[in-house]
Each structure stands twice: as structure tokens, then as C-alpha cells.
Structure 1
């Protein structure tokens, strides 16, 4: 017995989006493919409650604008992360409040909701939280898209609609500030530095 026709491979989101113009229900495949990672990223930034809304709104915006998607980009990950980053940006004050509370007390409801143990260990580092809170929104977006979304420099440029050189300069500036924050605190151990090596190397 044969099943339904196979959809496009995971790395060919462009074909799926193109098909969805005539068959809107096929867009659900893009959601199934990418929603979990978008949700994880939003949860790390804003907490589980806000992540539900950010994820839903990301895919709603993507669906509404899918006719403008650049079909030469086979993977939709940068596009989706760019939409999510714009939505997260609207919560900038909430994110900064959470980071500053974390810097003061070492605990914060947003950090407590992060699901991966390594992030909980990072969150306990007040100087790092303070450094993240002190970054400009643009620098923080670039740093966290690289560190938490695992996007490459070109993908970050596509996600945020900025030149590759701007990505590099923002990332260098953000990493320098984080390094300064970590290096200024003698309580940081080599293990703590290793946890944040992807942000500061």
C-alpha cells in the first residue's frame, strides 16, 4: 500500500511555499518542519508563555506574505527567524527587564523557563545577563541568532535584512562586550567560559 505523495525534502522549503500558493493547506508542512526550533529560540529570549504567541504570529505572518518569498532561497529558516526576531523586538523592554533582574538576583522567570540545562547554567551568570541587557537590540539579535539559532553569518544577514558586513561588525561588538563582562569578574571559571565560548570566540 502506498502513502500520500512525498513532499519536498526538508532543505527545499521554497518548493513547499510555492505549492502553498495554490494549495494553502500544504503550508502546514513548513510549520511542522520549523515551528519547534522557532519556539525554542523565542522561549530562550522571552519565556515559554510569550514563545507560544511569537511562534504562532511568526507563521501567521509568513503565511500572509508567502507570495513575496524569494524562491531562490531553498531554506526558509533565515526568513522565519527574521520574522520572529522582528516580533521579539517588540518585546525588547520585557527581555531587558528579565535580563537585568537576572543580573541582580541570579533568577528570573524567563530564564527558569528555558528548557536546556546548559542555558540554565549560563543564565545563572549575572555578568553575562548584564552584558546581554546592555547590548543594543540589533547587536543582541545578531549575537543570539548565531549563538542560539545556529545561523551562519549570511543567514543572519538574510534574516535581518542587513549587509553581511553589518552582521560581522555587530557580532564583533557584541562578543567584545560579553568578553569584557566575563573577564571583569574573577569568579568566572574556565568551565563558565567554556559554556559561553560560542558567544565569545
Structure 2
């Protein structure tokens, strides 16, 4: 059944869902249904499918506990949720780097398998290549967060800035630095379809 014409678009409904959940906690499940699959895919690409289950559960638990602090002026909870997930993934930095280095060294790693399974964009497909894995392992955590939020989570520069709590200019500088290192390692630039519009929007 089609929703009435005066119903707000899905992304504009996130704040309303969160506000309703303050009095009716079960309403928060709608946010989980909307975003959990994408958060799980992103976590699986970075840490493997096993860790992704915990990252996803912990992301929504943390979001539920912090929902009263969500800015109702935001049109979407997506950057907020990815920011929580990125923070949780950051706590597994050593495991992520270990997996990337293992892939770079041997070409075989459980995390690589999850990347190949989810190879529905260029960087995910290329992640099975040892040089790219090595380059990602060498990135600073903040630079890796920015690169992969753009390339794998498909966030715009503004959304990455919101997710990580940093200025858009910092997103640009981190992304530029990360891309330079990746280009040096694999001879190509994993870019996002958001590049052109973002350059126009934020330039």
C-alpha cells in the first residue's frame, strides 16, 4: 500500500522514530530495520563477518542508549550510526591491520573472503589484491575511516564529517592523503561517485 502523499521521505523519518522511541522504546526497532543490513556489510568488509555481528549489535545498542542526545534537526540517522560503528571498529584497529597485513603477505585471509563476497563496487573488488590490502594497513586509522566511509559506506563528504565529528576540510585532506598512498601502492584511485558533486557542493 502506498503511503499518503504527506508522509515525509524515509530519511526524514529518522528523527521522528527516535523521538517516538523515547516514550515507546520498541519504536527504535524501525531504525534497526532500516540501517542494520548496511552497517553489517560495512563492518564485515573491514573486520570479517564474525566481528560484524558484534559491531552491528553494539552500534544499535549504543545508539539506543544515546538516542535522547540525537539532534532532531538531522534529516537522517545514517551518518550518526556509521560514526558509532566506525568508533567501535576503531577499537579493533589491531585486528583490522593484522588481517590486512596477512592478506598483503599471503593473499589469503578470512576478511578477504568477506570482501570478495561483497564485491559490488570497485574498491571492494580490488580489496582482494595484496597491494591494496597493504596500502590500507599502512593508513592511519582516521584516514582509513574516511576512505572506507566514502568508498564502502557511500557517504558524502558532509556525511563523513558528521559521522566522525570533523570538519569537511579535514575529510578532504584525509581522503586526499589516503588516496595518494593507495595510488602509490596499486596504481589506481578508488574513488566515489560523490566526488564530482561534492567538489561542486563543498568547493
TM-score (norm 1): 0.87
2:136 is equivalent to residue 132 of structure 1: yes
1:177–1:79 distance in 2 versus 1, CA, 3 Å: same
Q: Is 2:132–2:185's contact at 8 Å kept on the other side of the alignment?
A: yes
Structure 1 residue 182, shift from structure 2 partner: 1.3
Bigger shift: residues 170-179 or 120-129: 120-129
Count of equivalent residues: 186
Q: Hey, what's the Cα distance between the residues in 2 that align with 1:139 and 1:28?
A: 32
Contact 2:124 2:152 in 1 (8 A): no
Gaps (5+ residues) in structure 2? 1-6, 196-203
Cα distance in 2, alignment partners of residues 35 and 129 from structure 1: 26
Cα offsets for 1:142-166 (capped at 9, x unmatched) = 0000000000001000000011111
Please give the alpha-carbon distance, in whole angstroms, between the structure 2 residues aligned to 1:138 and 1:21.
32
**2:37 corresponding residue in structure 1:** 36
Structure 1: 5+ residue stretches without partners = 1-6, 184-192
Residue of 149, 154, 162 corresponding to 2:166: 162
In angstroms, what is the RMSD of aligned CA positions? 2.1
TM-score by length of 2: 0.86
Does the aligned pair in 1 maintain the 2:154–2:192 contact within 8 Å?
no
